[in-house]
Chain A
Amino acid sequence: MSVEPVSPPELESPFYRVGRTTMPMAFCTLGGLAILAALYAAFYDPWYMARWSGYVLAGLVIEALYMLLSTGRLRLRSGSSAVTAAILVMTIPANMPAKPVLFALILAIVLARMPIARGGLHLNPALVGRLFLMIAYAEDIVGWILPGMDADAVTTATPIELYHAEEFTYSLRDLLMGRIGGSWEGLYDMVPGGPGEAFAPVILLVGVLLYWRGIVAWRTGVAFVVAFAASCAVMHEPVLFNVFSGAIVFSAVFIAGDPKTTPVSKGGQLAGGIIAGVVNAVIRKHTYYSEGIVFSFLIVCLLAPTLDRIALWLRSRWLQRRRLSVLN
């Protein structure tokens, strides 16, 4: 008589696992962001790295305190708050006062990371934090001034605002090398924005590295850039200048690569990327905003559950049709 095997409850197949768990994934992403922060510090602002590290640490402390209050245990949930803090800080002026940034971090980490609907709707926490700063600290968020610069002459970080107002295009080579600087007609001193707006080739390289290590998915980011470039071309805008200025490349890697707030399904990811790209191009061309990353990706966050449901439905329909065609 055969003996029925007793399976210990904690041992379930598969017994082989590949890839990283969530916390190492978050810290790999943080490593990629640290490279950009270090480059920015080396080229423009020696104290930037210290401030950046402080905000990242603050993000982890806020997450740990939130976990203590909500679960009674002082521990980190996934370490992704550090990534949220790092992304938020890299999309705002380097000289932004600390108080608003900390307010934004608390809002982003505590409130924005909660699902706001039963369907699993998540808003990108870094974008929520930035939206808060855009509304509550509108003056600070456009004050792209480096220490020691004459405030009367400075108006713009990277050339997209100037392009938006005066159709001034910066040299593409300097844009790619991250050499943002100089002035225009003695009125505008151009300064590098956050590290998220400089060193596009390095950001791309980091993105490829993160994809190769299985940390970020490519579909949303690639669809976003392609759709944005195509939209620019349709609207007779300089494609390369638009793609490599502002935070397009940074968003393609770190905002579109955020798994929690973008669609899960392959089709949904492509659709989400296309929507973000088109919306961003339309905002750049037809509104008073020179950049529309916050709005375009928050729209994708809102649409993500619906896009996933549509993808699931389409796949199931296709499976049903295939079954009928083979079985009959």
Chain B
Amino acid sequence: MLRLIRAQWPHPETPESPVFFGPSGLTWPPEAPPDALRQPEQSYPEFLDAIGAVGMGGSMFPASRKLAASQGVRTVVINAVECEPGTTIDKALLLHHAPLIQAGVKASADACGAKRIVIAIARSRNLFRRLRELYPFDVVMMPRGYPGGAERLIVKKLTGKMLPAGAYPGQVGILVQNVATLRAVGRALLDNIPVVERPLTIAAPHRRLHHDVIAPVGMTVGALLEACGAAWDPEDEALIAGGLMMGRAVQPETEITKGTTSLLLLRKSALIARETNCIHCGACNVACPLGLHPIGIVNPVREGQRPLPRVVATQLEECFLCGACAAVCPARIPLVKHIKEGKACL
């Protein structure tokens, strides 16, 4: 049975509409030009490349290539599970930018020949009811908790099959797209604005600060925080981009990219963990959503075994670095770091 991580992080179940925040001197939100971005002779993948559409769930994989690998699929899934604790931007977009998302997903479904559109959300009755009113699509509820929004888990929920490493959802007839990606496509189709906006969540739980905003791609993190009135204290706080579980520490000079899903201000004291010896409790095995043996594959990496045994390499290839194993480890072993080292050796 899959045991997901349930984070204690206060955030609204049905968030307010995201607010546009841009640097002074820039027209923001951008004004919609009268000329359509999509040219009549242009194919849909070419259009996606022209507007700069990428996977905005964090991967930044070119949307046109994903679509090309998904020709002939039966179902398009709008992935709004958003399992990273405290991140609510996808829900905010689903609730308040429905016309853009509908335009984006219908274009994707038409382009790949899909007949069915499904919205995947984390279990929430309120959100389910609201989405049924806003959208003419089926809504599938995933278990709440991390990493419930992983593409492979959504595919498993819909098809009953867990995708192995190296396989695309398109191979089992499914295209999974992030809410922000579909909104960006809809924005280009309806408002003629290319992918220059990045919707994201800004949160600082210790200050009870939580904003869903839309910022220009390329704006610096520091400027955005200043515009939102969320000053950063470099002594006590760390700046994390991309979520608690899979994000990374950034600096104020770092620019917002199309893959920046959230900006979090967290107390440094809560983040630094002292590693102790493994007590062999097996918590990492229980937490792994793929049923892998994290400590079993990390030990040969740490011991410097090269080349890595085949049994270890197989499991390393499967791991998608969700970090659930490291989050539950009572010895605070940086399992993800070692798994990344191992993956680099393959």
Chain A residues close to B by CB (< 8 Å): 2-3, 5-8, 10-22, 25, 77-78, 80, 120, 122, 214, 217, 259-266, 269, 308, 311-313, 315-317, 319-320, 322-323, 326-327
Contacts and interface: CB of A to CB of B under 8 A. Distances in A.
A238 B238 CA distance: 62
Contacts of A18: 5, 7, 327-328
Given A5-B250, A315-B293, A327-B166, 17 more contacts: A3-B220, A5-B241, A5-B248, A6-B251, A7-B248, A12-B334, A15-B271, A17-B327, A22-B330, A25-B279, A260-B280, A264-B282, A264-B285, A265-B293, A265-B296, A311-B296, A315-B291
B225 interface: no
Contacts of A5: 241, 248-251, 254
B170 to A, nearest CB: 12
Contact of A10 (B7, B272, B279): B272
A322 B292 CA distance: 14
A214 B283 contact: yes
A262 B280 CA distance: 8
Contact of B245 (A13, A217, A317): A13
B248 A25 contact: no
Contacts of A261: 280
Q: Counting chain B CB atoms within 10 Å of each CB, which of A2, A10, A12 scores highest?
A: A12
Nearest to B294: A264
23 contacts: A3-B255, A5-B241, A11-B240, A11-B268, A12-B336, A14-B326, A15-B247, A17-B327, A17-B328, A17-B332, A20-B330, A21-B330, A80-B279, A217-B286, A259-B279, A264-B285, A264-B295, A265-B296, A266-B282, A266-B285, A312-B312, A322-B162, A326-B164
A3 B286 CA distance: 38
B276 interface: yes
A312 B165 CA distance: 17
A312 to B, nearest CB: 5
B314 A319 contact: yes
The 4 A-B pairs with the shortest beta carbon distances in the complex, nearest first, are A14-B323, A323-B164, A259-B281, A316-B311
Contacts of B166: 323, 327
A327 B164 contact: yes
B344 interface: no
B26 interface: no
Given A266-B282, A315-B315, A13 B246 contact: yes
Contacts of A315: 291-293, 315
Contacts of A77: 276-277
Q: Which of A14, A122, A316, A323 has the most CB of B within 10 A?
A: A14
